[in-house]
Amino acid sequence: MLLTLTAITKRFAAVPALKGVDFSVASGEVHALLGENGAGKSTLMHIAYGLIRPDGGSVAVGGVPTTLHSARDARRLGIGMVHQHSTAVPAFSVAENVALGADWPVAPTALRRRVLDLTERLGLPLDPDATTDSLSVALKQRLEFVKALAGEARILLLDEPTAVLAPAEVDDLFQVVRGFARKGGAVVLITHKLEEAVAIADRVTVLRRGTVTLSASAREVDAAILAHAMLGAESPPAPARVRPMPGRTPVLRCESLEVAREAGGSGLRSATFEIRGGEVVAVAAIEGNGQRELLRAVAGLLPIFRGRLEVTRPIAFIPEDRTTEGLIPTLTLTENVVLGVGRAAQWIHGRRLRRVDWTAARLRTVDLLARYQVVAPGPDARAAGLSGGNQQKLVVARALERRPRTLVAENPTRGLDIRATAEVHERLREAAATGAGVLVYSSDLDEVMTLGDRILIVAGGVVVEAPAGADRRRIGELMLGMVAPRED
């Protein structure tokens, strides 16, 4: 075995995260690690990468017991990690971030050539001169992968690497993963997508509440078996579908809307549509086609270049990256709620000199945690201490606390497990049921088709509406610009 973790235990304060977990991955193998948010998956891999010290148990690399004091120790032993959220320095270029992660010398011309050669060889093209803060979330994820492989890793730990990728991008990434394994590398894949795990993995291990509930060959299991191992006898909620309510006033109107791309160049070229209160309108698009500019213009975060945009307030926005835009990890949950809800909150007093009633804000945060089932030690806990799923539930709760008439959600279930995804879907439908118009984008086409009362496709910066009853293949063709929309 290239990597072996034996009887790993870890507690955070009084909460046990891992309870005697055994896990291993061999040369030439892809091993999928599954479990609900908070099951201990990321904690286990952070131990394997030297970011967290276990309370008990042992780690061996290549059969040799070792103690990892830092990620640098792990990299020296050939372990690379692709994090779910970007760890790159925003102000640095792609090339500089790769050099930083791989300990390469920073000689601009040679470094640029080296990064170009690496990305071309991997089939994961990136502009070495682009600054990281100008990249989309999907390209930042690609950069994480390139950084890991630049360090000559023989063991790859992948934490939800496909959460924001389009289907074609997932296929390309998995070709790289499989090629890495065929050359003798070992891959650990954390994912919530059960079909994805069955399709690519050689072995699967499921964690539930810090313990292993299943470890088997991928050929011996299917999605139903994995779901049962993750959830036990419980099952995620199946919310009733909210249908559009005829006669409600439009809360959003776009006419010939044009929005420039954030990093320059063309973005959204033409968007004409409206959304009525009570509707969930889902957006399908391949990364970089203008959907980001559309959602952020509607949310008031990007200026309009041409056209007309009318949006009913209050507006709430759920960003796709909860750790850099949704929350400030070092602040408490109460502080994050206060910052996100805005000046109209009930705990803000005074007209000229505004002040925060922190007692009222703290009590309201306690209420939000309970109503939205956010698992947290309390309102004074740091946001960084929550699992990804609970962070996202807090972001959603805070957005809905504004009682929006227009709700914009950008990849709101990115990296969430089955249960948390179902809960977010339920919250979006509840918002629509109270009269809000919901505009939601997902990089998962199945989710788009599940959520949307109507579906908008953004291709080449142009927005079109999918014909009623369009199937997955037809929508995929529209996303690729292969066919023109028609009335069925």
Angle at 90 between CA 79 and CA 300, to 5 degrees: 130
- The secondary structure of residue 384, as a DSSP letter, is G
State the alpha helices, DSSP H only, in 299-353.
Answer: 333-341
Q: How far apart are the first and last CA of the chain?
A: 56
Domain spans of the chain, in order of start? 3-231, 238-314+403-488, 331-401
SS3 263: coil
pLDDT value at residue 483: 54
Q: What is the DSSP string of 412-473?
A: TTTT--HHHHHHHHHHHHHHHHTT-EEEEE-S-HHHHHHH-SEEEEEETTEEEEPPTT--HH
C-alpha distances (whole Å) from 334 to each of 320, 353, 357, 390, 398 are 21, 21, 11, 14, 10
Domains 3-231 and 238-314+403-488 fall in the same CATH topology: yes
Specify whether domain 3-231 bears CATH 3.40.120.10.
Answer: no
C-beta neighbour count of 195 within 10 angstroms: 12
Angle at 318 between CA 314 and CA 319, to 5 degrees: 130
Angle at 27 between CA 25 and CA 31, to 5 degrees: 35
Question: Six-digit token pair at 14?
Answer: 């009084």
Give CA–CA dist 488/484, Å, rounded. Answer: 12
- The secondary structure of residue 201, as a DSSP letter, is -
Count CA atoms closer than 13 A to 124's CA, side-chain side.
28
pLDDT value at residue 477: 82
- In this structure, are strands 273-276 and 280-284 parallel, antiparallel, or unpaired? unpaired
Consecutive H or E run containing 157: strand 155-159
Closest CA to 135 of 388, 321, 379: 321
Q: Which fold has domain 238-314+403-488?
A: Rossmann fold (3.40.50)
**Residue recorded with tokens 């809800």:** 341
State the alpha helices, DSSP H only, in 61-166.
Answer: 71-76, 94-102, 108-122, 137-150
pLDDT value at residue 136: 76
Count CA atoms closer than 13 A to 137's CA, side-chain side.
26
Q: In a 10 Å sphere around its CB, with 0-12 CB exposed, 13-18 middle and 19+ buried, how is residue 324 labelled?
A: middle
Closest CA to 20 of 57, 67, 75: 57
Show pLDDT as tens, one digit a residue, over the chain (488 residues). Answer: 899 999 999 998 777 899 999 999 999 999 999 988 778 998 999 999 999 999 999 999 999 999 999 998 999 999 999 887 788 998 999 999 999 988 898 888 999 999 999 998 888 889 999 999 888 777 888 898 899 888 888 999 998 887 666 666 778 888 889 999 999 999 999 987 788 888 899 999 999 989 999 999 999 999 889 988 887 755 554 444 444 454 578 999 999 999 988 655 558 999 999 999 999 999 998 777 899 999 999 999 999 999 999 999 999 999 988 888 899 999 999 999 998 887 767 777 766 667 889 999 999 999 999 998 898 999 999 999 888 888 989 999 999 988 999 999 999 987 777 888 888 999 999 999 999 999 999 988 888 999 999 999 999 899 999 998 888 888 888 887 765 555 44
Question: Do 337 and 361 form a contact (C-beta atoms < 8 A)?
Answer: yes
Read off the pTM.
0.66
Question: Six-digit token pair at 50?
Answer: 């030297």
Give CA–CA dist 403/151, Å, rounded. Answer: 47
pLDDT value at residue 35: 87
Closest CA to 292 of 282, 302, 279: 302
Angle at 167 between CA 177 and CA 154, to 5 degrees: 10
Give CA–CA dist 240/229, Å, rounded. Answer: 25
Give CA–CA dist 149/104, Å, rounded. Answer: 12
Count CA atoms closer than 13 A to 459's CA, side-chain side.
17
Give CA–CA dist 219/198, Å, rounded. Answer: 8
pLDDT value at residue 166: 65
Residues in the chain: 488
pLDDT value at residue 241: 46
How do the residues of the chain divide into helix, strand and coil, expressed in percent and rounded to 5?
35, 25, 40
C-alpha distances (whole Å) from 451 to each of 239, 241, 412, 424, 440 are 11, 8, 12, 11, 9
For the chain, count helices (H), then strands (E): 15, 21
